[in-house]
């Protein structure tokens, strides 16, 4: 197979994947996506880099819908091989028929929020402390992320993710991200092994 321009050939010849990884904020979708892409030798793209404009502070200005769709299809060609992480259950619909596997990450909510607060502190430092220019923005984000498990059907949350998963044509692999990232990567790679037992819904 001749590789598409910009899409490296996988290190695993039998694995030509288009993998989507999703879960709550703080569950580790971006970290797992990057590690898996490195293991397979394919491109990794996170949804935030497509959805949001590059601003400071980050994540304040959505990209125009038409521009986002153009960037999506250019970055993740349906004939390519890549790992796509993050929440994109509506605006990335054109990719859904082409996913070879959907990975759904779950993590205990208490542990998830500990990780998320640590991540935000590492990223922004004093900017999110009281009096910082991002304090209010960060407080709103943390409150939003904390409500993932109880959110209703009108916003991103466990309910909307579960409903979306039901309609996916691709197999769904459910993993608990309390496990080491290396173990999760290995399990996903093994899923593509023709000798590995496959199921439509797999609990990891």
CATH number of the domain that residue 172 is part of: 3.40.50.300
Number of residues that make up the chain: 204
The percent helix, strand, coil of the chain (3-state, each to 5) is 40, 15, 45
Is cis: bond before 60, omega within 30 of 0? no
Helix axes 135-146, 109-124, angle to 10 degrees: 160
- What's the pLDDT score for residue 6? 37
- Tens of each residue's pLDDT in the chain, 204 residues: 333 333 334 444 455 689 999 999 999 999 999 999 999 999 999 999 999 999 998 899 999 999 999 999 999 999 999 999 998 988 999 999 999 999 999 999 999 999 999 999 999 999 999 999 999 999 999 999 999 999 877 788 999 999 999 999 999 999 999 999 999 999 999 988 766 554 444 444
* 13 assigned to some structural domain: no
Q: What is the dihedral of CA 21, 25, 28, 29, to 10 degrees?
A: 20
Which domain range does residue 22 map to? 18-203
Q: For tokens 């819908």, what's the residue?
A: 65
* 54 assigned to some structural domain: yes
* 10 assigned to some structural domain: no
Nearest in space to 31 (alpha carbons), one of 147, 125, 150, 116: 116
Domain count, the chain: 1
Helix (H) or strand (E) run with residue 34 in it: helix 29-40
- What's the pLDDT score for residue 196? 56
* 12 assigned to some structural domain: no
pTM value is: 0.86
* 158 assigned to some structural domain: yes
How far is residue 170's CA from residue 192's CA, in Å, rounded to a whole number?
Answer: 13
* 112 assigned to some structural domain: yes
């Amino acid at each position: 197979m001749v590789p598409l321009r910009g899409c490296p050939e996988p290190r695993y010849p039998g694995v030509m994947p288009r993998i989507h990884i999703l879960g709550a904020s703080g569950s580790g979708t971006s970290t797992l996506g990057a590690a898996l892409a490195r293991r397979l030798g394919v491109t990794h793209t996170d949804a935030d880099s497509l959805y949001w404009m590059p601003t400071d502070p980050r994540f304040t200005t959505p990209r125009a819908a038409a521009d986002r769709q153009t960037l999506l299809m250019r970055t993740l060609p349906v004939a390519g091989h890549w790992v796509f992480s993050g929440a994109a259950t509506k605006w990335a619909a054109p990719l859904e028929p082409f996913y070879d596997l959907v990975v759904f990450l779950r993590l205990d909510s208490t542990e998830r929020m500990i990780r998320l607060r640590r991540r935000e502190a590492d990223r922004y430092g004093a900017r999110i402390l009281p009096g910082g220019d991002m304090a209010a923005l960060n407080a709103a984000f943390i409150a939003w992320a904390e409500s993932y498990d109880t959110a209703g059907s009108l916003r991103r949350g466990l309910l909307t993710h579960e409903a979306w998963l039901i309609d996916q044509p691709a197999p769904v692999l459910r993993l608990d991200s309390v496990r080491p990232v290396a173990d999760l990567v290995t399990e996903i790679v093994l899923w593509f092994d023709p000798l590995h037992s496959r199921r439509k819904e797999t609990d990891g």
